[in-house]
Structure 1
Amino acid sequence: MDIAEVAKRSGVPASTLRFYEEKGLIASVGRDGLRRRFAPGVLDQLALVALARSAGFSLDEIRSMFSPEGRPSLDRQMLAAKADEIERTIRRLQAVSKSLRHAAVCPAASHSECPTFQRLLRAAAARTREATGRGRKRRVGQPA
C-alpha cells in the first residue's frame, strides 16, 4: 500500500506516518516514485501504536513493543505497570470528581465553613506536597 492508502485506511495523517517511520515505530518496504510503500501489516502496527498512545506510553516505550521485524513483542511487566499507573490515576481523578461534586452542592453558606470541603482542600494540598517532594520533614541539621 502506498502512504496515501495507509493514511486513508488508518486515519493517521501521512505526516504522522513519516514521523512514526523516522522514530522507528513503522517501516516502509520501499518506494513507488516518491511515495513510500508499506506492507499490509502496518495497519495492525498503527492500531497497536494508537492503543499504546491512548494508554500514555511514550514513543520510546511503544518502539520497544515491536520486534525488529515489526511484530508485537510486548513486555508483560511494562503493561502491568502501566495498568497499575492508570488505575492510580483513575482513583485520583475519582476523588477529584467527588470533591468537585461536593463543592457544587455543598449546603454550607460558604465553602470556607464546610468541614468536608476543608478536609478535601487539605488532602489536595498534601498530595501536591508529596508529588513535588516538599512534604518530607527535614531532620535537624539537614539543609532546607
Structure 2
Amino acid sequence: MKSSEAVLSIGEIARRFGLATHVLRHWESMGLLTPARVTASRRRYGPADLYRVAVILRAKEAGFGLEDIREMFAAQDPAGRTTILRRHRAELAARIAAAQASLDLIDCALHCDHEDIAECPQFQATIDARVSSNHAHV
C-alpha cells in the first residue's frame, strides 16, 4: 500500500460502515478482505478496501451470500462472474416481483370500503391474479 493512500484502522472502517469489527475480521478470514498489516500486525485499510466493503454490503443487500461474494471476487474471467450475477439477478427479480404483488394487494386493501375485505370483488380479483400467476410457474 502506498504511503500516500488514506489508511484507516479496523475500528474506523467499522464505524464508517456501521459494522462490528468482528464482521470485518470474519470477512478477512473468508478471503473477502485483505487489509495491509503494520506494526504489531494491526490492520490498515486503504481506498480499495473501502470500496470492497461497500461492494460486499451492496451484494448482501441484493441477497448474495458471503460464499457467492467470495466466488464472484475470485472469478478470474468475466464469464465466471457473469454466471454468478445472472443467477442472482433472476433470484432478485423473483423476490422483487413477489414484493410488488404483496404491495399491490396491500394497496388494494387500503382502498377497499367493504366491511369484509374477503367479499370485495377488486380484492378477490387481485388475489385471483396472484393465484393464477403462481399456478403458471408450477
Instruction: Give the structure-2-normalised TM-score.
Output: 0.70
In structure 1, what is the equivalent of residue 58 of structure 2?
51
Find out whether 1:104 has 2:110 as its counterpart.
yes
Structure-2 residue corresponding to 1:84: 90
Q: Which residue of 2 aligns with 1:140?
A: none
1:3 partnered with 2:13: no
Q: What is the CA–CA distance in structure 2 between the aligned matches of 1:72 and 1:8, rounded to whole Å?
A: 34
- Offset of 1:66 from its aligned partner? 1.7
Aligned-pair identity (%): 29
* 1:80-135 per-position Cα deviation (integer Å, ceiling 9, x unaligned): 2322322222222222111111112213332232233234445666788999xxx8
Query: Which of 11, 19, 29 matches 2:26?
Result: 19
> Does the residue aligned with 2:115 lie in a helix, a strand or coil?
coil
Q: Secondary structure at the match of 2:43?
A: strand
In the alignment, the residues of structure 1 paired with residue 130 and residue 45 of structure 2 have an alpha-carbon distance, to the nearest angstrom, of 49
| Structure 1 segments unaligned to the other structure (5+ residues) | 136-144
Larger helix fraction of residues = 2
- Point out which structure has higher relative CO (alpha carbons under 8 A, 6+ apart): 2
Q: Is the 8 A contact 1:65 1:72 kept in 2?
A: no
Q: Could you give the per-residue CA deviations for residues 13-64 of structure 1, whole angstroms, max 9, x where no partner exists?
A: 3222112112221123324225223454211211211121111100000111
Contact 2:72 2:84 in 1 (8 A): no
Give secondary structure in 2 for the equivalent of 1:62. Answer: helix
Q: Give the corresponding residue for 1:142.
A: none
Question: Could you tell me the TM-score, scaled by structure 1's length?
Answer: 0.67
* Count of residues in Structure 1 that have an aligned counterpart in Structure 2: 130
Letter of the 2:58 partner, please give it.
Answer: L
What value does the CA root-mean-square deviation take over the aligned residues? Answer: 3.3
Map of 2:119 onto structure 1: 113
- Would the alpha carbon gap of residues 38 and 110 (structure 1) be closer, same or farther in structure 2, given more than 3 Å must change? closer
